[in-house]
Amino acid sequence: MAIGRPRAFDTEKALDQALGVFREKGYEGASLSDLTAAMGINPPSLYAAFGNKEALFGKALDRYAERHAGFYKDALARPTAREAVEALLAGAIDMATDAGSPRGCLLVSGALACGDDADPIRAELTRRRAEGELMLRRRFEQAKREGDLPPDTSPADLARYVTTVLQGMAVQAAGGAGRKDLRRVAETALRVLP
């Protein structure tokens, strides 16, 4: 055991609570009182364990990626491009409308437009959204090489289209759209696939 007084709270659980607040209120809308209240700790404990609000958001974002957005990589591993997109849409719908968490997607609603202070956060979220789009594009390029997608397909255009639908569904979910609604959207969106 480490030297010194042991930490009286579970940093993983506290991070989950913080993530919940950030998902619900966004980066700017989440105040430190909101965060400490949800995490069940006092400010000094938060700062000792996580640095500051920006660093806490970064750690919550990493946790979000591995816990709630893990479906993304799994989906891309499906054997065909169509199955991959199906899994992507289904997974995103489940994640964005999960009853246990605030609706929507942290990458979209965390900080779409914000003040100057939060601009690094906005840029990081933008970067991660673009990263996801790039992964999908690579997957489509592979499918094209394998003959799974027709030779006249544009992987870049298709990836941007699917990403746009995913992001639109995040907005819909934030606005209260239900699972059934979004499944129909996904079904319609899938019709463009060959």
Partner DNA sequence: GCGTTTGTGTAGCGAGCACTACAGATGGAA
Partner DNA sequence: TTCCATCTGTAGTGCTCGCTACACAAACGC
* Residues at the contact surface with DNA, assessed by CB under 7 A: 1-9, 30-34, 41-49, 52-54, 115
**106/166 with CB nearer DNA:** 106
Min dist CB 28 to its own copies, Å, is 5
Min dist CB 29 to DNA, Å, is 8
Pick one of DNA, its own copies, none as the site partner of residue 41 (Cβ within 5 to 8 A by kind): DNA
Q: Can you spell out the DSSP letters for 121-169?
A: HHHHHHHHHHHHHHHHHHHHHHHHHTTSS-TT--HHHHHHHHHHHHHHH
Q: Are 142 and 60 in contact (CB under 8 A)?
A: no
Pick one of DNA, its own copies, none as the site partner of residue 2 (Cβ within 5 to 8 A by kind): DNA
Min dist CB 55 to DNA, Å, is 8
> Tokens for 25?
């209120």
Residues that bind its own copies in the complex, under the rule CB under 8 A = 23-26, 28-31, 34, 102, 104, 108-110, 112-115, 118, 126, 129-130, 154, 157-158, 160-161, 163-172, 174-177, 181, 184-185, 187-189, 191-192
Min dist CB 49 to DNA, Å, is 6
Give which of 32, 23, 8, 114 is closest to 60, Cα–Cα. 23
Residues with Cβ within 8 Å of 146's Cβ and at least 6 positions away in sequence, in order, are none
17: buried, middle or exposed (CB in 10 Å: 19+, 13-18, 0-12)? Answer: buried
**37/77 with CB nearer its own copies:** 37
Min dist CB 109 to its own copies, Å, is 4
87: buried, middle or exposed (CB in 10 Å: 19+, 13-18, 0-12)? Answer: middle
